[in-house]
C-alpha cells in the first residue's frame, strides 16, 4: 500500500487548442476534467499500474465532493478531511505545438485546527494500512502547502510517520522542502528549477545537478531523484548515482508527468537503477497523453529508456 497526501488538491480542467489566441475567443478541440494535485496524480498513476493506494485530502465545497467522487470511480481509496474552504479549480491550455499555459488557483486557507487534523488523518491512514497487513509501505508527500500551513508542516509529518516505520517520498519545493530535509525523508524529487532554488544557483549541466543533489543529501535527504525535463533524470543515493533518459518525439501534455515518474519510482521499489528506469518510462508515457491522464502499463516503452552509472557531468541542459 502506498499512501499519498496532497495538502492543496484541485480539480484540473484542460483545454486542447491548435494555438492560443490571446485576447480572442478560443474554441477547444478537446477538454478534460481530472482530479488534480501532485499526490492525487501519484495515486492515479499507481492505480493505473495495478498498485493499491489511498489518497489523503483536505476537501471542501462542491469541487471537493466531485474530486473525491472522480477518484473513487477510478478505484482509488480516499481519506477525506472536510474543511471549511472550497477546493480549488485549476485550468491548463495545451496547444498543438506542445506549449502549455497553466492558471493555478491559490486554494483554501486551512485553520490551525484543520492543519492539526490533517496531520492526524495522514498518520491514522498510514497506521490503518499497516494494521490491515499492507506492510509499512510508502507515504508520498506531494505538492505545495496551502495557506495556513507553515513551511515546517511537512517536516513534522515526516517525523511522525517515520516514527511509525513508514518510508517517505517528498515532492515539494522552496521553504517546505528545505525545512523537511532535517527529518531525513527517504527520497526527495525536485525538478531542475526546484533544485536550483534549493541551492541558490543555476543548474546548467548534469554536473551542476549532481552537485546540488549532493548538497540536499548532506542536509538530510537519503536519496535525491532529480527531474531534468527533456534531459532525463538523476538518482543520487548512498549506494550509487545513476543518470537516465527516455526521449519523446512529441509532447502532448506534461501536466502530471513528474507525478507519474514518482509513482513509477515508488512502484518499482523506490531505490536503485531499476526504479529510476521505471520513473523515466512512466514520465515519458505521461507526456504523450492528453491533459493529466496517467499512463497504464500498455503505454510504457521500457526499450526507450537508458540508465547508466557513468554520469555525463559536462552535458549542458536544454532550456
Q: Are 170 and 177 in contact (CB under 8 A)?
A: yes
Is residue 316, in this structure, part of any structural domain at all? no
Q: Is 23 helix (H, G, I), strand (E, B) or coil?
A: coil
The single-letter DSSP state of residue 298 is G
What cell does 264 get?
A: 513509477
Give a yes or no: residue 317 inside a domain.
no
3-state SS class at 103: strand
Domain that residue 227 falls in: 2-308
Question: Is residue 318 included in any domain, yes or no?
Answer: no
pLDDT at 135: 55
- Known active-site residue 34: no
What predicted TM-score, i.e. pTM, was given to this entire model?
0.92
The verdict on residue 319 lying in a domain is no
Could you say which of 259, 299, 301, 310 is catalytic?
259
- Residue 145 counted as domain residue: yes
- Report how many domains make up the chain: 1
In a domain, 6, yes or no: yes
Q: Is residue 108 part of a domain?
A: yes
CATH classification of the domain holding 106: 3.40.1190.20
Q: Does residue 315 lie within any of the structural domains?
A: no
What is residue 256's predicted lDDT score, i.e. its pLDDT?
86
Burial of 218 (0-12, 13-18, 19+ CB in 10 A): exposed
Strand order in the sheet with 100-103: 30-36, 10-17, 88-95, 100-103
* Intervals of the chain under pLDDT 70: 131-136, 319
Give residue-wise pLDDT tens across range 276-297.
999 999 999 999 998 778 999 9
* Residue entry with cell 530535509: 181
Amino acid at each position: 500500500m502506498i499512501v499519498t497526501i496532497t495538502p492543496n488538491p484541485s480539480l484540473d480542467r484542460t483545454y486542447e487548442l491548435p494555438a492560443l489566441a490571446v485576447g480572442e475567443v478560443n474554441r477547444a478541440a478537446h477538454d478534460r476534467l481530472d482530479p488534480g494535485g501532485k499526490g492525487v496524480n501519484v495515486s492515479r498513476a499507481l492505480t493505473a499500474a495495478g498498485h493499491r493506494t489511498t489518497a489523503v485530502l483536505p476537501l471542501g465545497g462542491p469541487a471537493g465532493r466531485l474530486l473525491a467522487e472522480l477518484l473513487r470511480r477510478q478505484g482509488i481509496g480516499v481519506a477525506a478531511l472536510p474543511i471549511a474552504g472550497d477546493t480549488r479549480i485549476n485550468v491548463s491550455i495545451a496547444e498543438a505545438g506542445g506549449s502549455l499555459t497553466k492558471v493555478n488557483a491559490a486554494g483554501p486557507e486551512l485553520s490551525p485546527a484543520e492543519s492539526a487534523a490533517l496531520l492526524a488523518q495522514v498518520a491514522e491512514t498510514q497506521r490503518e494500512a499497516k494494521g490491515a497487513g499492507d506492510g509499512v509501505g510508502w507515504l508520498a508527500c506531494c505538492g505545495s502547502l496551502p495557506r495556513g500551513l507553515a513551511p515546517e508542516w511537512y517536516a513534522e509529518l515526516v517525523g511522525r510517520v517515520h516514527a511509525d516505520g513508514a518510508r517517505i517520498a517528498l515532492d515539494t519545493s522552496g521553504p517546505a522542502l528545505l525545512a523537511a530535509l532535517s527529518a531525513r525523508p527517504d527520497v526527495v524529487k525536485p525538478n531542475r528549477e526546484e533544485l536550483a532554488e534549493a541551492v541558490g544557483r543555476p543548474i546548467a549541466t548534469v554536473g551542476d545537478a549532481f552537485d546540488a543533489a549532493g548538497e540536499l543529501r548532506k542536509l538530510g535527504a537519503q536519496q535525491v531523484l532529480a527531474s531534468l525535463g527533456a534531459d532525463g533524470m538523476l538518482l543520487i543515493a548512498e549506494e550509487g548515482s545513476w543518470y537516465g533518459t527516455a526521449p519523446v518525439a512529441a509532447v502532448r501534455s506534461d501536466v502530471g508527468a513528474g507525478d507519474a515518474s514518482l509513482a513509477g519510482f515508488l512502484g518499482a521499489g523506490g531505490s536503485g537503477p531499476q526504479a529510476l528506469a521505471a520513473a523515466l518510462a512512466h514520465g515519458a508515457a505521461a507526456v504523450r497523453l492528453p491533459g493529466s491522464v496517467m499512463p497504464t502499463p500498455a503505454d510504457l516503452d521500457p526499450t526507450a529508456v537508458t540508465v547508466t552509472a557513468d554520469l555525463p557531468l559536462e552535458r549542458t541542459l536544454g532550456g
